[in-house]
Each structure stands twice: as structure tokens, then as C-alpha cells.
């Protein structure tokens, strides 16, 4: 989910609305590393350099390596200086935060996630999934909660219940289970 390079190619000075966009930062990637290439497609794109965001709406699909995010809307907030075509300074992330809303589905590693909303912050590499039916699954195993906090650096996942439901989990025992 290190969508750090996508904004480097957004050479914007005003707000633009581009219908039917298929966006790829490929020409701006210098390393040639296939894993770092990001492709975002949507029905519409709004770029706003003043507020430093790119908002993709309608049938959004984002891919980077084996990670795939689909949603109704994807909004990418980026650091200043990127709109001038420069790269982030060493150690500085180009992207600050990514918000996906509406029918969010994420496939990463060997897991799938579903939520009404997903927020990923690059500084702490934390993904927060929210919604009545937020879920993370791997194979036939799954856990649900109204708020799921996934720490990408150490693999911790925290499931929280809400007002209307409890945390729920279903997994298959690999051996004898509770017996």
C-alpha cells in the first residue's frame, strides 16, 4: 500500500476534473521496479494542488504489485512540492493519507478486507477499516468488527465492536481444535 509515487506525476496548478480517467505514474518511476508501479482507474478524477489531493470517483480500482483496492471513491492526500514534478526528499513519503469509501474491497498479501471506509496513513503504516460489516478474511477464516485496525509494520490487527454488534470470528482448526 505504499502508494508513494503516484502523485509525483500530477503536474497541477489548479483544480481539474477529468472524466473517464485511467491514471498510471509509470513514466515518473525511475527505479524500474515493477512492484512500485501504481495504476489507478476510475470514472472521474479531480486534482486539487491547493489542498494537495487527488480524488478518484466511480468504479475506482487501484493496483500495486499484488495489492488491489476497489471502492466507489479513493482520495489521495500528498505532500507539498510533488505537484512541481519533483520527488520527495529521502525518507519523506509523497503520500500522506489514502481514504477509500463505499464498497471498499482490498486484497493484500494472502488476505481480503471489506469495509464501508478504509483509511491508510503512510507515516505509521496503519490501515483502519470501518463499517457495520468490516471484515478481514484469509481462505475460509474471517473476523469482523465495526472498526478494524491493521498495523502493517508488526502485523497486529485489532478488532473493535460497535453499538450494534460484537466482534465475530470463524476459523478452521488445523489440528484438534478445542478438543
pTM of the entire predicted model: 0.73
Give the three cell numbers for residue 14.
Answer: 489548479
Rounded Cα–Cα distance for residues 86 and 170 (Å): 47
Cell 460497535 sits on residue: 162
Task: Please tell me the predicted confidence (pLDDT) of residue 33.
Answer: 57
Task: Please tell me the predicted confidence (pLDDT) of residue 165.
Answer: 80
Task: Please tell me the predicted confidence (pLDDT) of residue 71.
Answer: 98
**From residue 161, how far is each of 6, 95, 108, 164, 178 by CA, in Å?**
34, 30, 23, 8, 24
Grouped pLDDT means (10 residues each) for the chain, 179 residues? 32 36 34 68 94 95 94 92 48 78 93 96 94 91 93 91 84 66
The neighbouring-strand residues paired with 22 are: 41
Give the three cell numbers for residue 30.
Answer: 525511475
Residue environment code for 42-66, b if the CB has 16+ CB neighbours within 10 A, otherwise e = bebbebbbeebbbbbbeebbbbbee
Give the three cell numbers for residue 135.
Answer: 471484515
* DSSP code of residue 113: E
Task: Please tell me the predicted confidence (pLDDT) of residue 53.
Answer: 94
**Structural domains for the chain:** 6-170 (2.60.450.10)
Task: Please tell me the predicted confidence (pLDDT) of residue 34.
Answer: 60
Amino acid at each position: 500500500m505504499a502508494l508513494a509515487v503516484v502523485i509525483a506525476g500530477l503536474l497541477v496548478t489548479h483544480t481539474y476534473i477529468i472524466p473517464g480517467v485511467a491514471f498510471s505514474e509509470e513514466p515518473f518511476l525511475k527505479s524500474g521496479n515493477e512492484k512500485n508501479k501504481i495504476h489507478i482507474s476510475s470514472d472521474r478524477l479531480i486534482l486539487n494542488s491547493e489542498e494537495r489531493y487527488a480524488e478518484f470517483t466511480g468504479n475506482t480500482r487501484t493496483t500495486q504489485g499484488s495489492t488491489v483496492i476497489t471502492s466507489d471513491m479513493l482520495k489521495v492526500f500528498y505532500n507539498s512540492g510533488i505537484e512541481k514534478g519533483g520527488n520527495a526528499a529521502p525518507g519523506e513519503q509523497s503520500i500522506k493519507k489514502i481514504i477509500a469509501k463505499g464498497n471498499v474491497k482490498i486484497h493484500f498479501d494472502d488476505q481480503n478486507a471489506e469495509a464501508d471506509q478504509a483509511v491508510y496513513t503512510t507515516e505509521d503504516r496503519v490501515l483502519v477499516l470501518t463499517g457495520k460489516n468490516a471484515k478481514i478474511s484469509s481462505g475460509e477464516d474471517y473476523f469482523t468488527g465495526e472498526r478494524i485496525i491493521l498495523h502493517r509494520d508488526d502485523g497486529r490487527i485489532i478488532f473493535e465492536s460497535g453499538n450494534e454488534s460484537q466482534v465475530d470470528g470463524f476459523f478452521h482448526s488445523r489440528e484438534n481444535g478445542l478438543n
